Structure 1
Amino acid sequence: MNRKNFLSSMLTIGAAGPVLAASAPAKAKTGTPLNMPTYLRPGDTIGITCPAGNITAKEILPAVQQIEDWGFRIKVGDTVGKKDSIFGGTDAERAADLQQMINDPGIQAILCARGGYGAVHIIDQLDFSPLASHPKWIIGFSDITVILCHLHTNGNFASIHSKMCNSFPDDWSKAEPAQADSILSIRKALSGERMQYKALPNTRNRYGRAEGPLVGGNLKTIESLAGTRSDIDTAGKILFVEDTGEYLYSIDRMFWHLQRTGKLDRLAGLVVGGFKIKPDDPGEEFERTLYDIVTERVKAYNYPLCFDFPVGHQKENYALKYGISHLLDVREAEVTLTDSSVPAATTIPGA
């Protein structure tokens, strides 16, 4: 089967606690009810802000136009167009802009304009307590993993791990199917459609079925959060990871870190997404593949494992409902990851 067609065969099925001041590392609050935002309807407002890297108003225009075509309204934050070093404004400006959107009852979702670096600078300045009574979707990936992990650990807030404004094409007629499908999956996730994604089979996969909350994100970022108030507890959960621009030895070290911090031993399942690997320096060849690294670290456990899942710094980066229960089914013929929080219904025509 054609790889692009296979990976783009996403099924969509129709459906209907305050954060404390930073002082000591937090522990995931097991048993805390899921704080689930209301799914969006046409006319709802999505705010766009820059909690990490900078972006211009011109660069977000394709995203603004597309989201408005979906029927949503847009509120552009003050940090769009601002620049302080590599950041979208100063720490104070970025924290204030995101906080204003958290506080604003007229905003139903917050789309982070891009990743890069910088969310860790402001995470402990933010007050997420308004989300306890009025949850709203926070959307992003890469460096925004800091915020998604923090929300999950501190209040069990659901969020969306997906592409951001800098991934929307200027010309949709020239977009590859995987890129277009990935972006359209954001609308589907926000609108409450039941999501099911497929990945190509891989001989290094480990077969089985698992169900649990879906957590994870950028592997280097997850590693950097260990011991902080944003650290995630992975016990009983499906962990997904992705990364870009790392040497193989660095990826090996990160998986050792996951094992040594107990993040691998009680998983329900492990999903390995896209990894753009930095070539070894001459004479410093690591001589291990990504598949070798992961397989070695999880050989003592028996949960299902899949590789090459369509999430990460790549065109095939589908929207995932973070913190929400999913079913992972790894078989010899295919891999499926299904949102199990929304009852199955009839398939939407054209989906």
Structure 2
Amino acid sequence: MQQLQSPPSITTSQKVRVIAPSGDLREWERFEQGIKVWRDRGYELVIPEDLSQPWGYLAGTDEQRCQQLIEAWNDPDCVAIACARGGYGSTRLLEKLDWSQLSDRPKWLIGFSDITALLWGLAKYKGIGGLHAPVLTTLGNEPERSQQQLFDWLEGKVNSITLSGEGWGNGKATGILLPANLTLATHSIGTAICPDLENVILAIEDIGEAPYRVDRMLTHWRWSGHLQKLKGVAIGRFSQSEVSTPSFTMEEVWRDRLSDLGIPIVMHLPFGHDGENTPLPVGCIAEIDTDSGTLSYRR
């Protein structure tokens, strides 16, 4: 994977459009809190009247959600697109979305979890790096530090960010940062959006996945040969993973499935669900260092 084109920095008073490309929006109070965070910083948030038109567990039909994305992306005055929530559904859009309908002009696509599919699609088909960062329904619950990091990165006020965790494995490495939800990334293997993972530092998080399911996904990655291509692995938060039956711990699974790769691993990093979700730009230069237990990235 090569370094991706980064969208230009944005400034307050500019237009940010809201889309709901995944699950039906149910957390309206939390959604409004996220909107308030953006507006309090001076941005013009544009929310379509048909933002969420429930269709089963989705925020609208595939066609409706595709059209929302296309209209927001092709709006020449829009500098960023903020996703309302995750859940499930963005992968369905990849079957229907004609990427040639999207302008080549880069802008920020912001979200995480289920939005992984769109971030990876944007990287694959447009060569543009989005931002793995809170969706609107989680932004209001973020600590001030990670909110500030989000806007500092978008506004070009910082050129690098360092996250601290616990390192193990082999030394340090430099590569291209590729953040993802592990489940979504696993389901991309063998599909058109799965990127070339050579030279990649994979940053992964998830929610509600028991250790045995994470074991199963990592084993699938091993069998596919994709893990063996990586320069390093950065592990964020795997929340709500507790089980009542006999089990390996999550850390035991990580060490069992990754230790023989001979690459740097850093875990317990502050990104993912249910806690601080530090923004991770897709496709930028990153360094992972087991001695210091850090993941650093720069523009």
The percent identity for this pair of structures is 28
1:309 and 2:279 are equivalent in the alignment: no
Counterpart among 142, 159, 164 of residue 199 in structure 1: 164
Is the partner of 2:205 in helix, strand or coil?
A: strand
Query: In structure 2, how many angstroms separate the alpha carbons of the residues matched to 1:91 and 1:241?
Result: 26
TM (norm. structure 2) is 0.91
Unaligned runs of 5+ in 1: 1-29, 170-174, 342-351
1:242-287 Cα offsets, whole Å, 9 max, x none, are 11111211110101111111221121111111112534354xx23x
Answer with 1 or 2: which has the greater Rg. Answer: 1
Counterpart among 241, 245, 249 of residue 289 in structure 1: 249
Deviates more, 1:49-58 or 1:254-263: 49-58
Query: In structure 2, how many angstroms separate the alpha carbons of the residues matched to 1:122 and 1:224?
Result: 14
Aligned residue in 2 for 1:53: 23
Query: In structure 2, how many angstroms separate the alpha carbons of the residues matched to 1:327 and 1:294?
Result: 20
Structure 1 residue 54, shift from structure 2 partner: 2.2
1:40-81 Cα offsets, whole Å, 9 max, x none, are 122221111100012266543222222122222111134424
Question: Residue 221 of structure 2 aligns to which amino acid in structure 1?
Answer: L
Is the partner of 1:246 in helix, strand or coil?
A: coil
Aligned residue in 2 for 1:235: 198
Is the partner of 2:143 in helix, strand or coil?
A: helix
Distance 1:131 1:214, change over 3 A: farther
The answer on whether the counterparts of 2:266 and 2:294 sit within 8 Å (CA) in structure 1 is no
The answer on whether the counterparts of 1:189 and 1:320 sit within 8 Å (CA) in structure 2 is no
1:129 and 2:107 are equivalent in the alignment: no
1:77-110 Cα offsets, whole Å, 9 max, x none, are 3442422222112222111111111111111111
Question: Residue 231 of structure 1 aligns to which amino acid in structure 2?
Answer: C
Q: CA RMSD in A?
A: 2.1
Counterpart among 114, 132, 148 of residue 143 in structure 1: 114
Aligned residue in 2 for 1:188: 152
Unaligned runs of 5+ in 2: none
Counting matched residue pairs gives 297
Query: In structure 1, how many angstroms separate the alpha carbons of the residues matched to 2:143 and 2:100?
Result: 35
Question: Residue 299 of structure 1 aligns to which amino acid in structure 2?
Answer: S
Question: Residue 318 of structure 1 aligns to which amino acid in structure 2?
Answer: T
Question: Residue 149 of structure 2 aligns to which amino acid in structure 1?
Answer: S
TM (norm. structure 1) is 0.78
The answer on whether the counterparts of 1:182 and 1:315 sit within 8 Å (CA) in structure 2 is no
Structure 1 residue 125, shift from structure 2 partner: 2.0
Distance 1:162 1:281, change over 3 A: same
The answer on whether the counterparts of 1:248 and 1:277 sit within 8 Å (CA) in structure 2 is no
The answer on whether the counterparts of 1:79 and 1:88 sit within 8 Å (CA) in structure 2 is no
Question: Residue 254 of structure 2 aligns to which amino acid in structure 1?
Answer: V
Aligned residue in 1 for 2:294: 336
More helix by share: 2
Question: Residue 173 of structure 2 aligns to which amino acid in structure 1?
Answer: A
Deviates more, 1:189-198 or 1:123-132: 123-132
Matches within 5 A, 1:253-264: 253-264=216-227
The answer on whether the counterparts of 2:20 and 2:52 sit within 8 Å (CA) in structure 1 is no
Aligned residue in 2 for 1:223: 186
Is the partner of 2:99 in helix, strand or coil?
A: coil
Structure 1 residue 210, shift from structure 2 partner: 1.4
The answer on whether the counterparts of 1:99 and 1:127 sit within 8 Å (CA) in structure 2 is no
The answer on whether the counterparts of 2:179 and 2:280 sit within 8 Å (CA) in structure 1 is no
1:156 and 2:114 are equivalent in the alignment: no
Is the partner of 1:129 in helix, strand or coil?
A: helix
Aligned residue in 2 for 1:25: none
1:116 and 2:87 are equivalent in the alignment: yes
Question: Residue 271 of structure 2 aligns to which amino acid in structure 1?
Answer: V
Aligned residue in 2 for 1:244: 207
